[in-house]
Amino acid sequence: MKQSQLFMPTLREVPSDADIKSHQMLLRAGFIRQNAAGIYSFLPLGKKVLQKVEAIVREEMNNAGSQEMMMPALQLADLWEESGRWQSYGPELMRLKDRHDRDFALGATHEEVITSIIRDEIKSYKKLPLNVYQIQTKFRDEKRPRFGLLRGREFIMKDAYSFHHTQESLDHTYETMKSAYSAIFSRLGLNFRSVLADSGSIGGKDNHEFMVLSEIGEDWIAYSSESDFAANIEMAPVHDTYTMPEGEELSFEPVDTGDARTIAEVAAKLECSEDTIIKSLLFIADGVPVLVLVRGDHEVNEIKLKNVLGADDLALASEQETLKVMGTAPGTIGPVNISSEIRVIADHAVKYVKNGICGANEESTHLKNVNMGRDASVERYEDIRFIKEGDPSPDGKGIIQFAKGIEVGHVFKLGKVYSEPMKAEFLDENGKNQTMIMGCYGIGVSRTLAAVAEENNDEKGLIWPLALAPFDVHVIAVNSKNTEQAEAADALYSQLKEAGYDCLYDDRPERAGVKFADADLIGVPLRVMAGKKAGEGIVELKVRKTGESYELPISEVLQAVK
């Protein structure tokens, strides 16, 4: 591809609305453009990388015995009524009506559609197990679309669904899918972990997320330094969220609770009822656990967690950090929509209070699926044992460390959550009617692309691993107006193309500085530059990642690129 023909609108300035590296770089390098909040176009370079991610996903899914198909994005509401999710899914589901006034949803996920297809077509155990997948656009009206492709409202997902006649068969496929996921994320060069997870709105149990360890991750995971143990600290909400009247101001007032540790003691210190404390919210502000009290008089206070729980090493989070967690820029607090902000705190609170960081009690301390109210009660607050970084791992191997993660994949054992209400049934060996057992397996394809970009860049631009790079080699005529340089670059371009390399050729009549800056920005792994010594048959080869470069005769380029 000649760069003079390529649609690659680069930006010199960092876009003001992009606050993480991958988002900034993908915009600046002309890979993507935003059309609306959380809705993006992939420009030619972005589309090429996306196709490479898809190809790797496709190859590993096919290898693992899953069959590709394609389902509609536009889904009849009737199916969602059958599963019960038309009511339960909430505002993230994009809903619309056709001209006959029938309700539809834009697919946020496809359990309903696939279950309806399978129940109509599969009637016997002899046709099971079955594993199918698609790579397709999903729609979720996220409350906070952000970080570019990482949290979009329209995004590309690979979703697979498996159907089984026995639990053992599901267990087997689940392990096969986990291995396929590990293969995929390894090929993408990501630093990832598979972690125990909570099931969220999809239902079912027994599930793992694939997390890319990253500073900008939105999830917290606790993992062992020495074993495979790792768990998400995410939880379904357990506290009632507190709704403050709209328009009312939010104020923070640090409270000294002395050395009070139990609810009763804290309540006594603060001269409020224990009930008020129970409505308190515990959350993490930039890694620092903070307890916020929501009082009946609409005041919100933060107090030192260490005062409540005796964890001396936990510092008081600053008001700024607190505001950051609440999604409000420091210094701009004013009349905000309090009810939604409080809900954000509650989400974080619950994540912290439940699994991952605290266990139910000494005997059954565990890092997953501690369900407040079920496994632990708020009345027995003092029984909650907080697990801190440095504590022994629950499996006895190694110590616990915390890290932030980007959820790039998720595998679930759904069981009969969908097949039962939707009546996906088959006849078993004895001619008896049985309900199918299901699994589902998702990968955020566009999110994964962004995660790779996030982990592979420097101040100059993107640094693609070869497996995903939009081109294999970038040939540059340093000065296209110089005949010797142009001819050498032309020849190199033809040779490389002929040898099967996907080659980008910067043939533009631009200054060398502009060409080099663009090359750094786009991040093709290898660059061959025909410059001043082109007349002598010498060109320069440069590795984008390490910056190392050396001169070599044109005749040796093909060998060197290998």
Q: Assess contact for 66 and 58: CB atoms under 8 A.
A: no
Q: Assess contact for 523 and 510: CB atoms under 8 A.
A: no
| 321 binds ligand ATP, rule: CB under 6 A | no
| 112 binds ligand ATP, rule: CB under 6 A | no
What tokens does 194 get? 């598979």
Shortest reach from residue 421's CB to ligand ATP, in Å: 19
Chosen residue from 140, 474, 515, 527 binding ligand ATP by CB under 6 A: 140
| 180 binds ligand ATP, rule: CB under 6 A | no
Scan for tokens 């804290």, then name that residue.
266
| 113 binds ligand ATP, rule: CB under 6 A | no
What tokens does 499 get? 């040898």
Q: Assess contact for 188 and 56: CB atoms under 8 A.
A: yes
Binding mask 25-44 for ligand ATP (x = CB under 6 A): --------------------
Collapse the DSSP code of 553 into the 3-class scheme (helix H, G, I; strand E, B; otherwise coil) and give the result: strand
Shortest reach from residue 76's CB to ligand ATP, in Å: 20
Collapse the DSSP code of 39 into the 3-class scheme (helix H, G, I; strand E, B; otherwise coil) and give the result: strand
Shortest reach from residue 266's CB to ligand ATP, in Å: 32
Binding mask 469-498 for Mg ion (x = CB under 5 A): ------------------------------
Shortest reach from residue 151's CB to ligand ATP, in Å: 5
Q: Which of 198, 290, 285 is nearest to 238 (CA)?
A: 198
Contacts of 419 (CB under 8 A, 6+ apart): 115, 119, 163, 425, 435, 436, 437, 438
Contacts of 290 (CB under 8 A, 6+ apart): 282, 283, 284, 302, 305, 316, 317, 321, 322
Q: Which stretch binds ligand ATP (CB under 6 A): 20-28, 83-91, 406-414, 548-556?
A: 406-414
What tokens does 152 get? 């979009």
Total interface residues for ligand ATP by CB under 6 A: 17
Q: List the single partner that 21 binds among Mg ion, ligand ATP, none, CB under 5 to 8 Å by kind.
A: none
Round to whole Å and give the CA distance between 450 and 14: 17
Q: Which stretch binds ligand ATP (CB under 6 A): 313-321, 339-347, 444-452, 498-506?
A: 444-452
| 410 binds ligand ATP, rule: CB under 6 A | yes
Round to whole Å and give the CA distance between 344 and 375: 24
Chosen residue from 82, 142, 389, 420 binding ligand ATP by CB under 6 A: 142
Q: Which stretch binds Mg ion (CB under 5 A): 114-122, 402-410, 422-430, 491-499?
A: 402-410
| 405 binds ligand ATP, rule: CB under 6 A | no
Cβ-based neighbour number of residue 368 at 10 Å: 20
Q: List the single partner that 152 binds among Mg ion, ligand ATP, none, CB under 5 to 8 Å by kind.
A: ligand ATP
Q: List the single partner that 408 binds among Mg ion, ligand ATP, none, CB under 5 to 8 Å by kind.
A: ligand ATP
Round to whole Å and give the CA distance between 405 and 55: 24
With CB atoms as reference, the residue minimizing the distance to ligand ATP is 444
| 146 binds ligand ATP, rule: CB under 6 A | no
Chosen residue from 151, 410, 413, 527 binding Mg ion by CB under 5 A: 410
Q: Assess contact for 75 and 83: CB atoms under 8 A.
A: no
Binding mask 195-234 for ligand ATP (x = CB under 6 A): -----x-x--------------------------------
Q: What is the bridge-based pairing of β-strands 503-506 and 473-477?
A: parallel
Q: List the single partner that 151 binds among Mg ion, ligand ATP, none, CB under 5 to 8 Å by kind.
A: ligand ATP
Secondary structure (H, E, C), 194-262: EEECCCHHHCCEEEEEEEEECCCCCEEEEEECCCCCEEECCCCCCCCCCCCCCCCCCCECCECCCCCCC
Q: Which of 416, 415, 439, 435 is nearest to 426 (CA)?
A: 435
| 409 binds ligand ATP, rule: CB under 6 A | yes
- In the complex with ligand ATP, which residue's Cβ is closer, 136 or 328? 136
Q: Which stretch binds ligand ATP (CB under 6 A): 283-291, 380-388, 440-448, 550-558?
A: 440-448
The site for ligand ATP (CB under 6 A) is made up of 109, 140, 142, 151-152, 155, 157, 200, 202, 407-410, 442, 444, 446-447
The site for Mg ion (CB under 5 A) is made up of 407, 410
